[in-house]
Amino acid sequence: MEINCDDHLNKIADLFCDTEVDFEELAKSVKKILLAIGEDPEREGLQDTPKRVAKAYDELLSGYRADPKKLINNALFDVAYDEMVIVRDIEYYSMCEHHMLPFLGRAHVAYIPTNKVIGLSKIPRIVDMFSRRLQVQERMTRQIAEFIDAVLEPAGVGVVVEGMHMCSMIRGVKKHDSRMTTSAMLGVFRTQMGTRMEFLNNISRGAQSLHF
- Which residue numbers are catalytic? 96-99, 137, 165, 167
Neighbouring-strand partners of residue 187: 156
- Write the secondary structure of 76-128 as one string of H (helix), E (strand) and C (coil): EECCCCCCCEEEEEEEEEEEECCCCCEEEEEEEEEEECCCCEECCCHHHHHHH
Instruction: Give whole-number Cα distances, 182 to 103, 108, 137, in Å.
Output: 13, 11, 7
